[in-house]
């Protein structure tokens, strides 16, 4: 091949954007008796069937310890679907067809006999593609990921040498609890398969509006030109939740907001908002840019962490008129716990595009509203003309990407109030997903499962992404270690977080813009 041909081929591969075909497959769910299977995975697969997105044929095997028959499992799942399907009523025809593909494999994850049984089930399938195009969904404790991979490999069900990467492992967070454990887990997995066979889920990446961040940024000339330090004053990313920690307090005591939300969801959203354009939409090119962005986050010394990152913990209060107990009074929480249920931080990205632009990130439980949004605040216009008549500060223009709920994009700018006076006030232009496209919001798991089935890794987290995110989070957590929360770090349930978070902004002469309940 001559150089010109090679160049053509390279260019063509960069431009190739067609979705991979979804081939006949078998999905094996380990831990199939658990919550995730009945609440998320099966409803998502059922919806893919409903939308005719699944190939013909396919099979779904539930691997779990409890004794039950195929029919028993099907019945259980049908009942759960009644509660958890996003569309009701369940379409019985589709369900009946779908249910025929569900097979139960009663077995113990730690016992090699279970994998022999699994192999026999696979070999009983008539179509050879059902035996080779395999998706292993590890809905188990993370401590079992390595063990399952080792057993699969020993039973010749996971092939490291297979360069078609037909067998894949899908795993869910937490991917370790710090950098060292994440590295250990990753090393454990790549003993039995290639990194390319590992699909790490962050369900935020399955959200339609999160995916739209890249499409929006890289397809709109007007905003693309403004997406840098010249035009942007700062960026705020908020993921707020009305829920407290509830029944998950045991887990949360170990995790805190930093591990539960920042290490994954918040840093993922940040990387999509701030990354450079990839050379193509190929998975590795997109993931390369995300990692590069995470690596450009300015490291902080312990003293800088204490200055730039605040913690918060809720005490008793009310959310929507409903009384909420203090975090320290939740079951399974230590009465003197210093675990953060809220965190806010100021980060800088050390690259040319973002030089000097602060990124403020926050997330918390028991806040007044459940909402996720990115607010890009632009630099103000020189206020020469209006300063004498109005407030000396013009309202800054902003662009808000609402990720959930009321998904949409809002541009805020100043407009003249009708009448003879020269008075301004902020007005908004709104794009709403619902009004434009109808209220069709697939669950994140539907998209993620379909991509994993098709073998497209774009929406999954690569090993170096996970590890880089942990190194950021570890530096913060280490600086906090052994330090008690101060009075300014407590907040009443139902408020927008502790005073310390306000201080963080006020020091820079800025303020948080809280997500608004309705279409604001
Ligand atoms: C999970 C966290 O990953 O994300 C939960 O463990 C959190 O604590 C949830 O509630 C938030 O996801 P969503 O989709 O409700 O914004």
At 117-153, the pLDDT tens digits run 999 999 999 999 999 999 999 999 999 999 999 999 9
Question: Of the residues 168, 201, 234, which one is the last residue of a structural domain?
Answer: 201
Examine the domain organization and report whether 174 and 215 are in the same domain. Answer: no
Q: Is 282 in the pocket of ligand 1 (CB under 6 A)?
A: no
310 lies in some domain: yes
79 lies in some domain: yes
Examine the domain organization and report whether 103 and 164 are in the same domain. Answer: yes
Examine the domain organization and report whether 186 and 67 are in the same domain. Answer: yes
Report the atom number in ligand 1 closest to the C-alpha of 260.
6
Question: Residue 440 pLDDT more than 70?
Answer: no
Instruction: Tell me the CA–centroid distance for residue 365 and ligand 1, in Å.
Output: 10
In 3-state terms, what secondary structure has residue 96?
A: helix
157: domain CATH number is 3.40.50.720
Examine the domain organization and report whether 159 and 84 are in the same domain. Answer: yes
**485 Cβ partners below 8 Å, 6+ apart?**
311, 312, 313, 338, 340
Examine the domain organization and report whether 129 and 34 are in the same domain. Answer: yes
Q: Closest by alpha carbon to 25, among 117, 115, 128? A: 128
At 59-101, the pLDDT tens digits run 999 999 999 999 999 999 999 999 999 999 999 999 999 999 9
250 lies in some domain: yes
380 lies in some domain: no
* Residue in 241, 246, 445 to alter for ligand 1 test, most ligand atoms within 8 A of Cβ: 241
Examine the domain organization and report whether 343 and 475 are in the same domain. Answer: yes
**Do 334 and 200 contact (CB within 8 A), yes or no?**
no
Indicate the pLDDT class of residue 311, thresholds 50, 70 and 90.
very high
Instruction: Tell me the CA–centroid distance for residue 202 and ligand 1, in Å.
Output: 10
Instruction: Give the HSE-up count for residue 187: Cα atoms under 13 Å, Cβ half-sphere.
Output: 6
Q: Which residue has the higher pLDDT, 43 or 16?
A: 43
The proportion of the chain whose per-residue pLDDT surpasses 70, expressed as a percent, equals: 94
Examine the domain organization and report whether 501 and 367 are in the same domain. Answer: yes
365 lies in some domain: yes
At 345-384, the pLDDT tens digits run 999 999 999 999 999 999 999 999 999 999 999 998 887 7
Mean pLDDT across the chain, nearest whole number?
A: 93
Domain limits at 94? 20-201
Examine the domain organization and report whether 314 and 177 are in the same domain. Answer: no
Instruction: Tell me the CA–centroid distance for residue 179 and ligand 1, in Å.
Output: 21
In 3-state terms, what secondary structure has residue 192?
A: coil
Examine the domain organization and report whether 116 and 215 are in the same domain. Answer: no
353: domain CATH number is 3.30.360.10
Asked, as a colleague might, if the bond just before 58 is cis with ω within 30 of 0, I would say no
Question: Of the residues 154, 183, 201, which one is the last residue of a structural domain?
Answer: 201
At 404-422, the pLDDT tens digits run 998 999 999 999 889 877 7
Q: Is 241 in the pocket of ligand 1 (CB under 6 A)?
A: yes
Report the atom number in ligand 1 closest to the C-alpha of 245.
8
Q: Is 465 in the pocket of ligand 1 (CB under 6 A)?
A: no
Examine the domain organization and report whether 167 and 210 are in the same domain. Answer: no
How many whole angstroms separate alpha carbon 505 and alpha carbon 275?
24
Q: Dihedral through CA 189, CA 193, CA 197, CA 200, nearest 10?
A: 0
187 lies in some domain: yes
Report the atom number in ligand 1 closest to the C-alpha of 207.
14
80 lies in some domain: yes
* Residue in 260, 327, 447 to alter for ligand 1 test, most ligand atoms within 8 A of Cβ: 260
**Token pair recorded at residue 236:** 């705020």
Examine the domain organization and report whether 179 and 124 are in the same domain. Answer: yes
398 lies in some domain: no
Examine the domain organization and report whether 132 and 263 are in the same domain. Answer: no
**Do 278 and 285 contact (CB within 8 A), yes or no?**
yes
> What confidence score (pLDDT) does residue 350 get?
98
How many whole angstroms separate alpha carbon 342 and alpha carbon 243?
12
**Mean pLDDT, residues 172-193:** 95
**Mean pLDDT, residues 42-54:** 96
Report the atom number in ligand 1 closest to the C-alpha of 239.
16
Question: Of the residues 164, 183, 201, which one is the last residue of a structural domain?
Answer: 201
Q: Which residues are catalytic?
A: 265
Instruction: Tell me the CA–centroid distance for residue 478 and ligand 1, in Å.
Output: 24
**Do 446 and 453 contact (CB within 8 A), yes or no?**
no
Question: Residue 319 pLDDT more than 90?
Answer: yes
Show the CA angle centred on residue 369, arms to residues 177 and 344, nearest 5°. 45
Instruction: Report CA-CA distances (Å) from 39 to 139, 208, 242.
Output: 12, 19, 20
Instruction: Tell me the CA–centroid distance for residue 157 and ligand 1, in Å.
Output: 32
Which of 53-67, 262-276, 410-424, 443-457 has the least mean pLDDT? 410-424
Domains of the chain: total: 2
Q: pTM score, two decimals?
A: 0.93
């Amino acid at each position: 091949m001559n150089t010109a041909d090679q160049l053509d081929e390279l260019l063509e591969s960069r431009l190739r954007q067609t979705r991979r075909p979804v081939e006949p497959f078998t999905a094996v769910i380990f831990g199939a008796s658990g919550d995730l299977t009945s609440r998320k995975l099966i409803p998502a697969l059922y919806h893919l069937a409903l939308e005719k997105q699944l190939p013909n044929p396919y099979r779904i095997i539930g691997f779990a310890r409890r004794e039950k028959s195929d029919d028993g499992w099907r019945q259980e799942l049908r009942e759960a679907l009644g509660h958890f399907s996003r569309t009701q009523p369940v379409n019985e025809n589709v369900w009946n067809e779908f249910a025929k593909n569900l097979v139960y494999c009663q077995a113990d994850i730690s016992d090699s006999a279970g994998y022999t049984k699994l192999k026999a089930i696979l070999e009983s399938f008539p179509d050879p593609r059902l035996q080779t195009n395999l998706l292993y969904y590890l809905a188990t404790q993370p401590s079992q990921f390595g063990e399952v991979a080792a057993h699969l490999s020993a039973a010749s069900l996971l092939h490291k040498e297979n360069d078609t990467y037909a067998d894949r492992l899908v795993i869910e967070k937490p991917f370790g609890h710090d950098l060292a454990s994440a590295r250990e887990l990753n090393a454990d997995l790549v003993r039995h398969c290639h990194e390319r066979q590992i699909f790490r889920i962050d369900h935020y990446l399955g959200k339609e509006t999160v995916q739209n961040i890249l499409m929006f940024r890289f397809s709109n000339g007007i905003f693309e030109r403004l997406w840098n330090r010249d035009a942007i004053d700062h960026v705020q990313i908020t993921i707020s939740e009305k829920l407290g920690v509830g029944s998950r307090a045991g887990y949360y005591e170990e995790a805190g907001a930093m591990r539960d939300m920042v290490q994954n969801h918040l840093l993922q959203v940040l990387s999509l908002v701030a990354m450079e354009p990839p050379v193509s939409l190929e998975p590795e090119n997109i993931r390369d840019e995300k990692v590069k962005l995470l690596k450009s986050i300015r490291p902080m010394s312990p003293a800088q962490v204490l200055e730039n990152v605040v913690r918060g913990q809720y005490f008793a209060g009310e959310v929507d008129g409903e009384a909420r107990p203090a975090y320290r009074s939740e079951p399974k929480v230590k009465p003197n716990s210093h675990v953060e249920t809220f965190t806010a931080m100021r980060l800088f990205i050390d690259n040319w595009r973002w030089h000097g632009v602060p990124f403020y990130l926050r997330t918390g439980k028991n806040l007044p509203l459940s909402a996720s949004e990115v607010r890009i605040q632009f630099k103000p216009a020189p206020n020469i003309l209006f300063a004498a008549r109005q407030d000396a500060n013009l309202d800054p223009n902003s662009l808000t990407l609402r990720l959930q709920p009321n998904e949409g994009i809002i541009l805020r700018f100043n407009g003249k109030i009708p009448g003879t006076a020269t008075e301004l006030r902020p007005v908004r232009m709104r794009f709403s997903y619902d009004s434009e496209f109808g209220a069709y919001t697939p669950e994140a798991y539907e998209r993620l499962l379909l991509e994993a089935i098709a073998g497209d890794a774009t929406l999954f987290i690569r090993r170096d992404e996970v590890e880089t995110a942990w190194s950021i989070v570890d530096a913060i957590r280490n600086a906090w270690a052994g330090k008690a929360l101060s009075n300014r770090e407590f907040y009443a349930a139902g408020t927008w977080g502790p005073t310390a978070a306000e201080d963080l902004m006020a020091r820079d002469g800025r303020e948080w813009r809280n997500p608004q309940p309705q279409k604001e």
